[in-house]
Chain A
């Protein structure tokens, strides 16, 4: 049991986070508890079906390392969905940023410029989304769908559809390395999730995000610049897509226009599993993190048992339905009592 100590501690830390609002505390805890139950159940299944290889330190490392990039994207998606929007472009923006930061010209400037470039491209693409939606009055679905198509296209154009291997050793050593026994990528995930939680639950920015998603008109009448806030939310999602691009470039040692493929769908699924309402105005960061971990765990457990990919996808779909139904039930139970 000592083997699983570090990672297990990280897992159990999560649900202890206080609920966002005191008056909703109980219900949110119930919802998170049912979600956490699914996570524990999956860990048990993994442990029973693969007793030797599942609960090892290196496997937990692997799971968290694989969860890290999709987790960072999902944090951004949580903000967007709480604000009442949707961002279909994040996966493509990850691809674009990963290509842009690994071109030979960028790599020639060294690791610092590579990282800044990845973040800047992500932020830029996100702000374009935000401006189109907030000031151009485009529907979020359409604006980000356009970005989804064109960002992937631009990534293919820049990379000439070739895989750009990262040659910079400093970049690889830092981002593929460890700090205090925990992989750098997992640190980044932890920092992003904690910062995201604080931003959402302890700052004006977060409160405004809930308000904009709950009732934009009332928010506008309350004197809040709704348009600017929406633009900033998409900018944040883009910036986090840039962070993900950096993480993926480190994990795969390459930038490619195929990086981040389908991340938008995984992120939306994780956010929804996590109990965030697609209609906006309601959601939790902790739920999103558990959603991401559930998805990563499913894949890991299936590979542990040498089962093919198609079965994994069936299970993923089923998990989405089960998790949402579970929450719906707890939600209804609360409103009737």
Chain B
């Protein structure tokens, strides 16, 4: 009679012990801290003040609101904003809010910042349309708004817009590929394209720019598939596309985040006959471009360094200063960053704008 409870207790003990052991092993595995030596300075790209603007001025409190960092690019936006504020810590106080993908929550966060009477607001809206009214109410209350990347519906909702240029990303990728094809003397190249989420205007702009630039050179886009900005969808789209196109001369992938999957599919298919161009400028891809051992030869920037610039602009706005090197007394109302092409030759220059995808 005593045997049964005993054996059950023993079994319970063994299972419990195994569970605790597994738990201990698993918790040990959650750390993502890189060893100190490998941490190359956080990798944030910050601006230095030019001329008179380098001198600390009046204290400026900057409110910052962005969506949740659900992929590397947005994570880098927030990181850059914080790093830039830190660089100017003599005269800048940053009030960042917790990133959220819920527009109504972001509206509430911006309203809180307005109530705290920050001097300048920097807003990367989850949805430009939905946050337009709160941007406008800040402007109406005399708080200048810097609208980062995703544009509001009306210029009344921002003092200055700064953002990237999706159309030119496509143009520059197309121009680079056309140039390389001409250099190799390929007259009728097969050029593939792995796009991002096709329903987004930014993807459509990128593809339009790519198509226009290739058309200018007398080329056209061949096989084209859309992925969803994730490694898995990038891998799936590329694996299928490579089967549909047994021979390619060039491939443009819109986004370096999904690019990890794109490269995985290319290596699984053991294909080397074409050149690949990326998009956005992740550290991973720029390192590979520099090493020059893979098919990827270039990437066109859509750099999160614009967040650093936005904070620098917010500081100048708060201190009523203009930009160095411009004749204008005021900060311009609109600034579009340039989508430079990063190749092996200039990769070192752009190492500081690379972000961890």
> Which A residues contact B (CB, under 8 angstroms)?
50, 52-53, 56, 58-59, 62, 65-66, 100-101, 103-106, 109, 113, 116-117, 120-121, 124, 156, 158-165, 176, 248, 251-254, 256-261, 299-300, 303-306, 308-310
Contacts and interface: CB of A to CB of B under 8 A. Distances in A.
A261 B224 CA distance: 22
B276 interface: no
A120 B245 CA distance: 40
B328 to A, nearest CB: 38
Interface stretch (B234-242, B296-304, B341-349): B234-242
Interface string B18-37: 00001001101111111000
Contacts of A163: 71-72, 231, 257, 260, 357
B244 interface: yes
A186 to B, nearest CB: 12
Interface stretch (B57-65, B86-94, B104-112, B261-269): B261-269
Contacts, number: 148
Contacts of B231: 163, 252-254, 256, 258-259
Contacts of A104: 31-34
Given A105-B30, A261-B232, A254 B264 contact: yes
B70 interface: yes
B240 A120 contact: no
B50 interface: no
B223 interface: yes
A52 B224 CA distance: 18
A258 B29 contact: no
Given A117-B26, A254-B231, A160 B32 contact: yes
B127 interface: no
A301 B70 CA distance: 31
A67 to B, nearest CB: 11
A260 B232 contact: yes
A165 B28 contact: no
Given A58-B269, A104-B33, 14 more contacts: A62-B239, A101-B29, A104-B31, A105-B33, A124-B22, A158-B30, A160-B32, A161-B70, A261-B230, A303-B243, A306-B244, A308-B225, A309-B226, A310-B198
Contact of B268 (A106, A165, A251): A251
Contacts of B260: 163, 165, 252-254
Most buried by B among A113, A165, A257: A165
B24 to A, nearest CB: 11
B25 A117 contact: yes
Contact of B29 (A66, A106, A156, A306): A106
Contacts of A113: 25, 29
Contact of B240 (A165, A254, A299, A308): A299
Q: Which 9 pairs show the lowest CB-CB distances between chains A and B?
A: A303-B240, A258-B230, A106-B29, A105-B31, A253-B264, A59-B243, A252-B231, A304-B244, A252-B261
B69 interface: yes
B325 to A, nearest CB: 35
Contact of A303 (B30, B225, B261, B284): B225
Contacts of B224: 306, 308
B232 A103 contact: no
Contacts of B294: none
12 contacts: A53-B243, A62-B243, A100-B26, A116-B25, A159-B32, A160-B69, A161-B71, A161-B75, A252-B235, A257-B70, A259-B231, A306-B224
A252 B232 contact: yes
B356 interface: yes
A156 B68 CA distance: 10
B223 A306 contact: yes
A308 B226 contact: yes
B11 to A, nearest CB: 13
B246 interface: yes
Interface in B68-101: 68-72, 74-75
A39 B284 CA distance: 40
Contacts of A50: 244
A303 B237 contact: yes
Nearest to B264: A253
Contacts of A248: 232
Contacts of B261: 252-254
Given A103-B29, A124-B22, A161-B70, A300 B240 contact: yes
B32 A120 contact: no
